[in-house]
């Protein structure tokens, strides 16, 4: 019996060691997987953040180019309201947008293009 007990203990020890080894290996694989997942998530977040920044820069450049055109056009109109041109040029984007929205009817008038009706040649009258 002693030999059987020794054999059984040895088998139990080997099984425990193998289970422990497999558990540690599985745990290591999981840790590596989650580390890679965190890294990918971080890279993705950085990429998305960069895209958002690029969009904001593009929007700011668009607003700045529009402002370069509109400030000279709006200056005479807005100066009547007592707002100096320097103030207009240095308005924060939100306030500039509000200012533009308030004056859209005036801008519509400024940019309105009268369509001249195209005259069809009168086929009944001979050309001069």
SS3 labels along 40-57 = HHHHHHHHHHHHHHHHHH
| Contact predicate 99/88, CB 8 Å | yes
pTM of whole model > 0.95?
A: no
Q: How many CB atoms lie within 10 A of CB 128?
A: 3
**Residue 116 confidence (pLDDT):** 47
Q: Show contacts of 94-100: CB within 8 Å, 24+ apart.
A: 96/63, 96/67, 97/63, 99/74, 100/70, 100/74
Q: Above 70 in pLDDT, residue 55?
A: yes
**Residue 51 confidence (pLDDT):** 84
Q: Above 60 in pLDDT, residue 42?
A: yes
């Amino acid at each position: 019996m002693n030999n059987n007990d020794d054999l059984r203990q040895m088998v139990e020890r080997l099984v425990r060691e193998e289970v422990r080894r497999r558990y540690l290996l599985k745990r290591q694989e999981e840790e590596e997987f989650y580390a890679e997942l965190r890294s990918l998530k971080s890279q993705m977040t950085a990429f998305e953040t960069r895209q958002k920044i690029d969009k904001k820069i593009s929007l700011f450049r668009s607003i700045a180019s529009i402002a370069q055109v509109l400030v000279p056009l709006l200056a005479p109109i807005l100066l009547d309201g007592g707002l100096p041109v320097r103030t207009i040029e240095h308005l924060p984007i939100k306030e500039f947008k509000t200012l533009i929205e308030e004056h859209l009817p005036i801008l519509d008038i400024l940019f309105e293009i009268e369509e001249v009706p195209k005259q069809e040649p009168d086929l009944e009258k001979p050309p001069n």
